[in-house]
Structure 1
């Protein structure tokens, strides 16, 4: 079965790009703590940063549970019993299959039947529920969440948080927060072929082109680069990362409008010279038969087979697919082959790390505010998802059982427990057998925690990426749509995106000459591109007037 990238991996970068309709007002959050009388049953009287949360009486909270097929829900996981032991809270999971999660969540919220806690929500999914009043404006209650507030301040995350605000100045999603961005995707390259051809690992996209030319010259019968993740979004990770290097991401992280810090204006991404720049680059790869034209439509398994059978030497990957897919595949077909994930090649934007420090997060049902246990629930959420101790617990589990302190003093996976192939011979699996490292509860944190499962090789990759600056689009100025504007924008966005993606592929495959770029831009105007950008400008100007 082909590897399916997680939504976290797919959208990590997208969360940091401008998400119009989310960005909004900065400034102090008005905390609605005056209406909490009668809602403090079970809450700790004094709860602050670093405190172990423990409810003063046994409580149960319902949670929407994204049931992942790789580690299906078990009621006897150590996670559940240990969580109750530490916090006096029992979670009642409403399990929904991963494949059906977003749809089921929408149905439950629409019917008023949603659990109190709704995690695993990706921006901008919360937009759909704001106007109905079904989800809580969580920014009103940050005084109940000292660990969350502390991390925002300590890690200087306020600009990123402000991009989540709605037109009312509030935000409705508690995001996962990272101290450092986590870049996961890049090119996997056969290093034994590099050695054979006396080539170095390429540092820039221009050097990638030179490398592919040399490979083609030595092996004229094959396409050196044959990619995966072309379905359902052509170019998936490749267009996302290459586009980021040009300042106009495509693929998985395509956004209609991108902020240009030099001109202090938003531009329509798919009509920009920056976007055109990388489209021309890929079209050159295809035209010179350096890249397989089937890359954008083939199944992942086909792309894997080509690499495994030495029909190609380069493919997009992440840490997990490098080890679990490509190295395993090659070990079976060509044991002497070596392959590595190279640092993301550098393009016109310079040495950037395109990843965001925010990821998926939690919505809270408005019903929760009427509960006598509301304050206790917010304290619990703050501890499990945002305290140092809660994050270690959710990701790694129990010291001495599932994790130990390594020589450096940092937490490491116990040798008898496996995760992402780190201890392949271990008898137990962190997720399947214990319920820790579960994407519903474990995200964000300090680099040493996030990297606890990483190999030495992957830690070296992260060190290179973290030395780079974050992309200039990570914290664009706010341009929040009103409900009416968002409704209008949504009507235009689908047609625009479909057309951009369709024409991008035509330019790349040589089905349409780049000389017709201006005609393409005119066609975009006929699909309401200018009207869409006027909405963006209006929203931006309104924010500047009210809050600038």
Structure 2
């Protein structure tokens, strides 16, 4: 997962995690995942003479492992945080952690790959694994699954993990969810402004256009809709609901499910036409193409902008900022809207963080022990320590219910950020954690965030609402991966050279057909065939 997408998930965790009490059944993974951890721990104690994972130390002699992690600016990694001492006490493994600012992490990792000077364990995203797996620098985890019973069990329960294979090899320990709420990019609008203007909740994108138009008329200095991270983010979150998709995407509504290169198809034109209409009438931020996360937050927190289509978790923070000046100010979720084809469709965040992995250097002296260590992090003991800290001091659990202690509540109340809590403890998604438990964030949930999460769940149950999980791309052969990388680069270069021209009206829409034909000539059909053949191969296994 890219740094941007990880921030998506982090905000969702902060704002949407449900209350600890009674939330054991709220996750899509839920109690089954806990049960599998316990079963795996029992199985591991019988595995080829190894010490039991989650049942005592996993090495016969003390071991030190060099680990490289990206450090997020919101959550500094504190090397002597309690979680790291607890890990060593439980496993006999000491960690020598090297941190790199998250913005520079990929560059640093690629430099180490080029110089063959890798740490024992390192964080890596799926794109890096695809690019370098065949260099022989990384340990093929799939050759060591007898030493990883917890992961082996989780793969059986979540076969989509096999999509991460390069050829027939799995190289990374993926970040998985033990407990996870429902979240994703959804339409959020200023409900107080809607009420003030007597507007009804839009049911279609055409009605959304009319709503934003009325907001602009009432507040002429506003930029009703804004986006962060520029053009790519705009296309990524908006084109699928509008009936198309960006880059290579899986369309559940085409031939029972098919991988397409969105910009090469006519439906993409309709999405561009809608966005162009918003831009022309100054309903879309005129600076959308160069918008940053900071400018996006400032506009929504100040009232400059009134609508966003993004991670719902941010609405809580925006609302809190707005209420300082206007107690009635608030954002509310809009249910899935119908596009011009009458479809209601939207992606929610996927289960797990499968594009985020931890790799082992092929040079480690005792690969079996290193594999056992990372596998321990999927055990109940490992997940508890890496998500919550020390039982009795930082959290309690009884009958599957987890609660932070009164001491933690007093020290880290809602006026203190989740980042501060998890930085001090060495826990959570931005630390060194493989089996994420979102109950650890519940102290920071709000009634609105819980309501929105439940809203998503209700919409998911109604198939007419079309809320689906963005699927993981199918595993490719080495030759396919190399061809896909080249085709994608060439095609996306053309798209980014032209797409803003269509949205901004610099290039007329009647030139879209020529644009699409160029993409087809440059290999969009070949790219689609590779993905669909790989998907068919995966499904036949």
Please confirm whether the aligned pair reaches a TM-score higher than 0.5, indicating the same fold: yes
Q: Residues 258 and 269 of structure 1 are in contact (CA less than 8 Å); yes or no, is this contact kept in structure 2?
A: no
**Which residue in the other structure is 1:214 paired with?**
214
Could you tell me how far 1:346 is from its partner in structure 2? 3.9
**Which residue in the other structure is 2:6 paired with?**
8
Q: Among residues 408, 432, 437, which one is paired with 2:428 in the alignment?
A: 437
| Deviation larger for 79-88 or 198-207 | 198-207
Q: Residues 117 and 363 of structure 1 are in contact (CA less than 8 Å); yes or no, is this contact kept in structure 2?
A: yes
| Deviation larger for 217-226 or 107-116 | 217-226
User: Aligned in 2, Cα 1:221/1:466: closer, same or farther, shift over 3 Å?
Assistant: same
Q: Secondary structure at the match of 1:375?
A: helix
Could you tell me how far 1:424 is from its partner in structure 2? 0.9
Could you tell me how far 1:88 is from its partner in structure 2? 1.7
Could you tell me how far 1:8 is from its partner in structure 2? 1.5
1:128-177: CA deviation from partner (whole Å, max 9, x where unpaired): 211211112212222322222333334xx20x2232222x3222222112
Q: Among residues 491, 494, 497, which one is paired with 1:499 in the alignment?
A: 494
**Which residue in the other structure is 1:363 paired with?**
359
- Taking the aligned partners of 2:239 and 2:281, their CA distance within structure 1 comes to 20
- Taking the aligned partners of 2:475 and 2:92, their CA distance within structure 1 comes to 42
Residue 144 in 1 paired to residue 147 in 2?
A: yes
RMSD: 3.7
Could you tell me how far 1:307 is from its partner in structure 2? 3.5
Q: Residues 417 and 427 of structure 1 are in contact (CA less than 8 Å); yes or no, is this contact kept in structure 2?
A: no
Residue 174 in 1 paired to residue 161 in 2?
A: no
- Taking the aligned partners of 2:229 and 2:164, their CA distance within structure 1 comes to 28
**Which residue in the other structure is 1:47 paired with?**
52
Q: Residues 250 and 258 of structure 2 are in contact (CA less than 8 Å); yes or no, is this contact kept in structure 1?
A: no
Q: Secondary structure at the match of 1:222?
A: coil
- Aligned ranges for residues 264-413 of structure 1 at < 5 Å? 265-318=258-311, 321-324=314-317, 326-332=318-324, 334-340=325-331, 342=333, 345-347=336-338, 350=344, 352-359=346-353, 360-368=356-364, 371-372=365-366, 374-384=367-377, 386-404=378-396, 409-412=401-404
Q: Residues 75 and 419 of structure 2 are in contact (CA less than 8 Å); yes or no, is this contact kept in structure 1?
A: no
User: Aligned in 2, Cα 1:457/1:435: closer, same or farther, shift over 3 Å?
Assistant: same
**Which residue in the other structure is 1:30 paired with?**
none
Q: Secondary structure at the match of 2:409?
A: coil
Could you tell me how far 1:278 is from its partner in structure 2? 2.2
Q: Among residues 135, 139, 160, which one is paired with 2:138 in the alignment?
A: 135
User: Aligned in 2, Cα 1:351/1:114: closer, same or farther, shift over 3 Å?
Assistant: same
Q: Secondary structure at the match of 2:363?
A: helix
Q: Residues 266 and 537 of structure 1 are in contact (CA less than 8 Å); yes or no, is this contact kept in structure 2?
A: yes
- Taking the aligned partners of 2:467 and 2:103, their CA distance within structure 1 comes to 31
User: Aligned in 2, Cα 1:350/1:188: closer, same or farther, shift over 3 Å?
Assistant: closer
Q: Residues 244 and 354 of structure 1 are in contact (CA less than 8 Å); yes or no, is this contact kept in structure 2?
A: no
Q: Residues 316 and 449 of structure 2 are in contact (CA less than 8 Å); yes or no, is this contact kept in structure 1?
A: no
User: Aligned in 2, Cα 1:329/1:382: closer, same or farther, shift over 3 Å?
Assistant: same
- Taking the aligned partners of 2:424 and 2:509, their CA distance within structure 1 comes to 54
User: Aligned in 2, Cα 1:53/1:508: closer, same or farther, shift over 3 Å?
Assistant: farther
**Which residue in the other structure is 1:243 paired with?**
239
1:459-497: CA deviation from partner (whole Å, max 9, x where unpaired): 3322222341686674478462433x4334333322311
- Aligned ranges for residues 528-539 of structure 1 at < 5 Å? 528-533=523-528, 535-536=530-531
User: Aligned in 2, Cα 1:275/1:416: closer, same or farther, shift over 3 Å?
Assistant: farther
TM-score in terms of structure 1 length = 0.78
Q: Residues 417 and 428 of structure 1 are in contact (CA less than 8 Å); yes or no, is this contact kept in structure 2?
A: no
Q: Residues 64 and 95 of structure 1 are in contact (CA less than 8 Å); yes or no, is this contact kept in structure 2?
A: yes
Q: When you count helix as a share of all residues, which structure comes out higher?
A: 2
User: Aligned in 2, Cα 1:505/1:478: closer, same or farther, shift over 3 Å?
Assistant: same
- Taking the aligned partners of 2:132 and 2:304, their CA distance within structure 1 comes to 48
- Taking the aligned partners of 2:86 and 2:121, their CA distance within structure 1 comes to 19
Task: Specify every segment of 5 or more residues in structure 1 that has no aligned partner in the other structure, as ranges.
Answer: 13-39
Q: Secondary structure at the match of 1:410?
A: strand
Q: Secondary structure at the match of 1:148?
A: helix
- Taking the aligned partners of 1:516 and 1:135, their CA distance within structure 2 comes to 47
**Which residue in the other structure is 1:65 paired with?**
69
**Which residue in the other structure is 1:81 paired with?**
85
Q: Among residues 503, 517, 527, which one is paired with 1:522 in the alignment?
A: 517
Q: Among residues 456, 478, 487, which one is paired with 1:465 in the alignment?
A: 456
| Deviation larger for 392-401 or 88-97 | 392-401
User: Aligned in 2, Cα 1:76/1:473: closer, same or farther, shift over 3 Å?
Assistant: closer
TM-score in terms of structure 2 length = 0.79
| Deviation larger for 466-475 or 489-498 | 466-475
